[in-house]
Structure 1
Amino acid sequence: MSEKIIYDADLTYIERSLSSLEQGFNYVSDQVDSVNNELLDTRTSLEDLIQEFKDFVKKDQLEKNIQLAETRIVKVRQELETEYGHYADVRRKVTGILQAVDVSLVKKETIENATEEQMLSAPRYWLAPCLIALSAWLNDQKELADKAMKEALRRDDEKTSLFFALVTRRGTRYKASREWLERYFGLQDPHHLEREVVVLIDGFSNGIFGPDARIKCGKQIEAWIEELSQKVGFIEEQHEQWKVALESKIQRLDDQSFPYLKKYSPTWGQLEESLEGACLNRTIHDHFNGIFTKEILPAKNIAYAVDALLDSLVSKFDEEEIPLRKDERLLSLVIQEEGDRQRAQQLFDNEKTLEERVSFTQLLTNFAMHPEVSNASLATQKFSIALSKDWIKDAHNDITLKNRASLPIDVDLEIDLWKGTSQDGSNEEELVQSLSTHMTQRKEKAINNVKLGVEHWVGLGVGILFTLMGFSVPFLFVLALLGFGYFFFGKKNVQKRKDQVAVEFEQLLAHCKQVLLASLAELVDWRTRYSEEDGQAIRVTELLESISPEQYAFSSHDAARSVVN
């Protein structure tokens, strides 16, 4: 009886339901695939967005640092003008008085009155009593000149001695100039020299002092170096000192240089550091060569030459201004380094150009590498480099050897979970095969992970159970068919998903191959450029070996021969 009921049953509704169910499963499967693709695109877009956000935050911070530095440097300069602007009036009077006397256009009484006013307006300034002494000297007031000179020496013995050494040299008072220089030398400790000694070296290297004084300067410089060289560890100290100075000239690679290696090589940090170190050779050569190829234009006469030194002495070496000068220099470095405060601080710490007292060799380093801050002339730069050439050469060799020793031989690559290594890109086929094998294994693993879920097996079990029970309750056959349908449609979609996974991995493999080939091409370019830049090291050595101190101790204002060895 039950068989007849089953035979005569109208299954059209069930067939339509199963057809509708299949369409629903197909729709859901398409939606799942679409969502999966969108998820992959979203993940890629999100990674790009995160990187862009990080770049934006970094750029914004650097711009804010620049704006803050530009604002603060204006305030510092205003404070310098406010606190020490009255010193400028005193400074201007120095060369003004000397030049006025040269042409006899100003009355001595006018000079006397002007200098007395400066004494009242700058009660602590060492230069004010110097002006009184200068005025009294011009007016033959010996007692007043001696009294003012003693006050100036009390305020600053070293600067006053150097000041009068220059003034007397300007007036061709060779004996007085030599005596003042001897006094100045007697106050000096080559381990702790004042910054204004650059004025003395400028005078010596430009041939400002008379024959006897210039010989004295040359012997004193030799004596300073000899005394310093007796110090234990002196050579090592010079190596380190010049290494720091030379490395301060390292220039960063452009952000757009080698973008694939930067993104896909964990070794990029070493590659970047090595290439920057190699590029330092060209930078150093260009720096020194630029100095030695420039022509020194001597002053028209001794008066102009001494006036330039006096202007430098009285306007750039006052200790009271040092804290503000340091702030100004650090802020200018922040602006120079485009907002990178850490790099600016490192450069500032390495310069040591605004320290109150440093060793003579450190001064030579400052003159050679940072003339814009140490206030050294071109002649002094040349002389300092020539005098320090052996130390520079040794330090440069140390830097070069250290850079070569740290050169990475193997360069690691990481592209979407794949890892490989290359030295120079010559193993391209091997790496491409390794990448293909890696992607194939990942594809097979991903395909194997695409399986029927527990719910599908439950559907199959329900279908079997309801089939057995359907012989007693025929309506359960409908539920059994639904269970079987859910299972088989799920199985069909699993195969479709596996095919989709295979396609996705083929696309991923093609993209990764492009990245790999681009990275290897950049590695070849990197090796080529490194080799070229590293080859510049010999040019630095050749340039330094071609110079000597004797060439750059000039005698443009006297006929004495240099005796510096």
Structure 2
Amino acid sequence: MSSERIIHLADLTFIHNSLQGLRGDIKVVYDQVDGVGQELSVTRSDLASLWQEFREFVAADLKAKELHLAETRQVKIRQELDTKFGYYGEVRRLATGVLQAADISLVRQDTLTTATEEIMLAAPGYWLAPALVALGAWLNDKQELANKALHEAIRRDDEKTSLFLALICRRAQRANACRTWLDRYFGQQDPLQLDRQTVVLVDALASGVFGSDVRNHCSQRIEGWVDELSQRVGFIDEQRQQWNAALRSKIPTTDHGNRYTYLKQYSPTWSTLNDVLNGATLHEVVRDYFHNIFDGFIVPAPNLLAAVDDLLSKLVKNFDDEELPLRRDERLCQLIIDELGDRQAAKNRYDLECKALDENVSFMQLLTNAAMHPETSHASRATQRYSVSLSRHWIKDAHQDLAASTRAAVPQQIEISIENWQGTTKNGENETELSSSLSNHIEQRKAQALAAVKLGFKHWAAIVFGIGFVLLGLPSLNYLFLALGAGCLIWFFSARSKITQKRKKIEQDFARLKEQSLQILKACLAETVEYRRDFVQRDEKAPEVTALLDGISPEQYVLSSHDSTRQVMAKPIV
């Protein structure tokens, strides 16, 4: 009996040790599984970060390619302009050279005639070539040749030839001839369909080139154009929309996310917030833009000859329609370069500017182009001032419309999204309410996560079977049943221990998440307060634009004539 007792104890010890080893192995496996789970979580986070970096890389790479393509395309376009229209430059240089040579009488008349006639052979189809032949013949007192060349220049481009000769006659101080050619030029004009060279006429008026009689004549014509256009139905609304589009072209495309980092990351409203802030920044941009136009003195040309030469240079150089398609492409490439490869932003700016390159525009659109896009319309500072002063009422109305639309677009409620939680705030004043809501949301998520981590049916089945096997094995000392029962019990208590540890880790993770989320919420609310203050400060600059425009009038911005006659302006245009 004692020997059976010893064997019985020895066997139980062996089984017990085996079960302890099994328990240790199960714990090792559990730790490994838990480690794999943590690594999986880190991997998912790294993958999300990698995906974001990949998207940013693709966007940056696309911009770099667009930038490189635009730079390459711009070089090719300029080469094509030089190849196709390079001879225009030679004709243009000769135009001023002929005039200056005639002034100082250093070149023989026969040389001028020969030079202009050679240009006629080198520039087929270009209106300026026969116009120069006519000029050379006129200087050489060859009336028949001058008339023939003049007829050919008029046939090629009547409007430019008429304006060109009007400026030449003004340069020679032949007022009657100047008035005659200007009448011819004006007679061909439709204020709804003006050629782009008309800006040269406006430039001449604003620069004080014309004598008092001609200047009054031009002013009356411009008054007539404005009156004619004003009689059209919807003219006022059209002007407001036109200037609205022109002012929109000055809206910056700044990303304010560097200043409002939390709102950019956690607010679904951020895109609207950023656009609205740029819209409010427009007031300062427009104010500074107009202030730069009107700031300082414009130094007029020292004499009439220099003033007309400048206008003639613009007429023959900047407004040839044949070059327009290539000039459009060149401008788009330049905008892509300016936007550092962001083609969409460049295209948006180009669409707003493209009217400045239109072949035919209304007189009011011409003024808009001159005022807002001088780099494409080739308007002088004097023309910009005159154009803005003529259009100041419509500019003010359009600016007020833009200011109102920007204010209307400001979100009344700013959305905040943190860890699948959604909340809204107006001025960041409801921090307590939002903090409570966010805390409850995280607590609910924690409760759901804890509820998902519990003993399942298999665990309770294991303890039932374990107790059953033990009860069956004890009376007869059936070691198999005892081993099975012990194994089931050990597995049950091991699983319960792991679940307890997992629940503890969930509580720790959610406590950390709650603290971080509340900090993010506070940062978002603080940025909301700063954003509202920032918007108000930018928006308060709107009246400064109105005050600047109210302080100007057209008659202030026509330079004194080079004549000794006292300058007289007609009644204000607007």
Which TM-score bucket, shorter chain as reference?
Answer: over 0.9
1:314-325 correspondence runs (5 A):
314-325=316-327
Does the alignment pair 1:364 with 2:367?
yes
Letter in 1 for 2:442: M
From 295, 298, 301, give the equivalent of 2:300: 298
Contact 2:194 2:361 survives alignment (8 Å): yes
Match of 2:401 in 1: 398
Does the alignment pair 1:274 with 2:276?
yes
Moved >6 Å (runs of 4+): 3-6
Structure 1 stretch displaced more, 472-481 or 360-369: 472-481
Letter in 1 for 2:202: I
Shift of 1:430: 2.3
Does the alignment pair 1:449 with 2:452?
yes
From 424, 433, 440, give the equivalent of 2:427: 424
Match of 1:523 in 2: 528
- Deviations along 1:204-245, whole A, 9 cap, x unmatched? 001001111100111111111111111111111111100000
Does the alignment pair 1:436 with 2:418?
no
Does the alignment pair 1:485 with 2:524?
no
2:403, 2:344 → 1: CA distance?
25
Match of 1:74 in 2: 75
1:500-539 correspondence runs (5 A):
500-539=505-544
**Root-mean-square deviation (CA), in Å?**
1.7
Contact 2:211 2:561 survives alignment (8 Å): no
Letter in 2 for 1:374: S
TM-score by length of structure 2 reads 0.95
SS at match of 2:356: coil
Shift of 1:472: 7.7
Contact 2:210 2:561 survives alignment (8 Å): no
Contact 2:195 2:359 survives alignment (8 Å): yes
TM-score by length of structure 1 reads 0.97
- Deviations along 1:148-178, whole A, 9 cap, x unmatched? 0010000000000000000010000110001
Shift of 1:17: 2.0
Letter in 1 for 2:288: D
Contact 1:219 1:564 survives alignment (8 Å): no
Where structure 1 has 5 or more consecutive residues not aligned to the other structure, the ranges are: none
1:187, 1:342 → 2: CA distance?
39
SS at match of 2:324: helix
Where structure 2 has 5 or more consecutive residues not aligned to the other structure, the ranges are: none
Does the alignment pair 1:349 with 2:351?
yes
Does the alignment pair 1:412 with 2:415?
yes
Structure 1 stretch displaced more, 475-484 or 354-363: 475-484
Contact 2:212 2:561 survives alignment (8 Å): no
Letter in 2 for 1:136: A
Match of 1:381 in 2: 384
SS at match of 2:526: helix
Shift of 1:37: 2.8
1:516, 1:26 → 2: CA distance?
40
% identical aligned pairs: 51
1:93-172 correspondence runs (5 A):
93-172=94-173
Contact 1:555 1:561 survives alignment (8 Å): no
Contact 2:77 2:330 survives alignment (8 Å): yes
2:347, 2:16 → 1: CA distance?
80
Contact 1:33 1:497 survives alignment (8 Å): no
2:259, 2:56 → 1: CA distance?
16
Change (3 A) 1:556 1:212: closer
Shift of 1:564: 4.4
- Deviations along 1:423-470, whole A, 9 cap, x unmatched? 111222222222222211211221111012454344334324433543
Match of 1:554 in 2: 559
Match of 1:308 in 2: 310
Letter in 2 for 1:323: P
SS at match of 1:227: helix
Task: Give the length in aligned residue pairs.
Answer: 564
Contact 2:561 2:567 survives alignment (8 Å): no
